[in-house]
Amino acid sequence: MTKQSLTIALMAAALGCSEAGHDQTNDDTGGVVGTDGSSTGGSVGTGGSVGTGGNVGVGGSVSTGSVIGTGGVVSTGGSSESDDGTLYTFDLAGFGTSEAPGLNIANETLAFPLALGQAVQSLSLADPGDLIVAYTRVGCWIDPQEWIGTDGTAPILLPETEPVLVTHVTIDQFVGVGVTATPSGLAEETCLTLKSPGGEWTPFLQPQTITLLSDDAVRVEFVFEGTSAAGAALFLPTYTNVSTISYRVTAP
């Protein structure tokens, strides 16, 4: 083979080498339900029909091994206090059983005040802490303030707290028995709203990162550069199971 033929062959080889449920509806009026089954929001109005348009799209990347983040460190175990702030973790395994740990969701929204109580909390039906499990029957297509605001259809009332700067919120969830959704499907139907210092709920935020933890589990992360807020609410797929919620805050 001549030198010219060898060069062409090597170039060709280099070029060759260069060449990833069931919709919620408002056919029933929403209402805020505490984890003990009692109502926390009073009677629910029937006004304001809810559209059934598409879900919020996923704004970030999907990873099958490690988190592809746009900032911040994700952790779902233990608390940490550092220059990056304090990590708060809700372990929801106690809501389920030893065979099926985790909080089963069926048309509920999860809401909680920020930076209140212990940094690590193991919650259960008997001891839900400040976590509100609200039976809203809606997903990411509604206006949060019009639905769960003080004058909304199904208001969620959180304890009053001082605003903090939140840098990320992470939720781990998994496909339950009998649910036909995929982990990616669960992630795509998950969105977040923050309660502003003025008391209003912000428009929905999309996740920046989705990490497939296993064949039936997924982690969804919302990342901020430091947004002032007093509370948060996670709108979820119609049917899912939540194992952990964590978030990091810093002083304003």
What is the predicted pLDDT for the residue at 134?
96
What residues does 242 pair with on adjacent strands? 103, 173
Residue from 241, 244, 48, 9 nearest 138 by CA: 48
Q: Is residue 214 part of a domain?
A: yes
pLDDT band at 205; cut points 50, 70, 90 = very high
Q: Is residue 15 part of a domain?
A: no
Does residue 81 have a pLDDT over 50? Answer: yes
pLDDT at 125 over 90: yes
More confident residue, 170 or 65: 170
- The answer to whether residue 28 scores a pLDDT higher than 60 is no
* Residue span of the structural domain in which 231 resides: 24-40+55-250
- The answer, yes or no, to whether residue 26 has pLDDT greater than 80, is no
Specify the pLDDT at position 206: 92
Asked if residue 18 belongs to a domain, the reply is no
| Structural domain includes residue 5 | no
9 vs 68, which has greater pLDDT? 9
pLDDT above 50 for 196:
yes
Q: Predicted confidence band at 13 (pLDDT cuts at 50, 70, 90)?
A: very low
For residue 24, name the pLDDT band (cuts at 50, 70, 90). Answer: low
**Over the Cα atoms of the chain, what is R_g?**
21
- 1 occurs within a structural domain: no
Q: What is the pLDDT of residue 15?
A: 38
Asked, for residue 2, whether it belongs to a domain, the answer is no
Quick one: pLDDT at residue 99? 82
pLDDT at 161 over 60: yes
8 within a domain of the structure (yes/no):
no
Query: What's the pLDDT tens digit per position in 133-144?
Result: 999 999 999 999
How many separate domains does the chain show? 1
pLDDT given at position 71: 33
Task: Please give the full DSSP string across 171-222, using - where no structure is assigned.
Answer: EEEEPPTT----HHHHHHT-EEEEE-TTSPBPPPB--SEEEE-SSSEEEEEE
Q: Is residue 48 part of a domain?
A: no
